[in-house]
Structure 1
Amino acid sequence: MTAEQVKQDVAATFMKALGSKDWSLLRDLLTEDVTWTLPGDNRISGTVAGPDGVAERVELISSFGVHFALLHVLVSRDNVALNLHNTATRDDAVLDEHLATVFTLRDGKVARIETFLSDVDGMNRFFA
């Protein structure tokens, strides 16, 4: 598999795990020392570590009924990013954000995740 195929496969597998809520598939995509950092000040903000931490965060986000729409897969020389549009409604809170989730890869697995958001205040209100 070429480096470009690996990046595309990582992106596709991550989206498949989200869509099917297959947290085991997600864990298989991650290194043992993976970290994921999200901005903001709410239930899903900060840095989590390890495959279980990442899977628990994704499961929590999914539990809020978030719809993940993949807009673009972006690649650099060594890494890959997902450009997403996430939406959800809960009681009187609305989530409507664009984001880039950047995966730093090591040996074909995700070693670091950093998410960049268009509306941190909106995310804070939704996940308060």
Structure 2
Amino acid sequence: MSTNEAALALGRTFHRALASGDWDGIRALLHDDATWTLPGDNTISGTAEGADAVVERAQRIASYGLNFELLHVLVSRENMALSLHNTAQREDAVLDEHLTTACRLHDGKIASIETYLSDVPGMNAFFV
């Protein structure tokens, strides 16, 4: 399998695990010292440090009832990114954002994740 094919497969596996709540599956894709950085000023913002904290972040995000629509898995020479359209709603707030979750890979696993958002104020309002 080429590096690009491996990165594409890893991206698809990460998305499937996130969308289905397969927390052990996500954990298996991460280096022990993996990080995940999100912008904003809300309950999911900042940097989660360590694989267990990254999984906890994924669980917290999913607990808000998000629909994680995968638009594309993008690859570079050594890394991959997910292009997503996330939506959710509750009585007092609606989330409708496009984002890119860029993953730096090392030895076939995710070493770090950084998320770029189209609507940080909307994210702040939703994740209170």
Same fold (TM over 0.5): yes
- The residue number in structure 2 matching 1:67 is 67
Q: CA deviation at 1:60?
A: 0.6
Divergent runs of 4+, >3 A: none
* Amino acid paired to 1:117: L
How many residue pairs get aligned? The number is 128
- The residue number in structure 1 matching 2:87 is 87
- The residue number in structure 1 matching 2:78 is 78
Runs of at least 5 residues in structure 1 that lack an aligned partner in the other structure: none
- The residue number in structure 1 matching 2:53 is 53
- The residue number in structure 1 matching 2:38 is 38
Q: Distance in 1 between matches of 2:83 and 2:15?
A: 11
Q: Distance in 1 between matches of 2:53 and 2:9?
A: 22
SS of residue matched to 2:78:
coil
TM-score (norm 1): 0.98
1:104 to 2:104 alignment: yes
TM-score (norm 2): 0.98
- The residue number in structure 1 matching 2:7 is 7
Checking the alignment, whether the CA contact within 8 Å between 2:4 and 2:76 is kept in structure 1 is no
Checking the alignment, whether the CA contact within 8 Å between 2:12 and 2:73 is kept in structure 1 is no
RMSD: 0.7
Q: Distance in 2 between matches of 1:34 and 1:104?
A: 10
SS of residue matched to 1:17:
helix
Q: Distance in 2 between matches of 1:110 and 1:68?
A: 19
Deviations 1:18-40 (A, max 9, x none): 12211000000000110100000
Deviations 1:67-97 (A, max 9, x none): 0000011111110000000000012100000
Runs of at least 5 residues in structure 2 that lack an aligned partner in the other structure: none
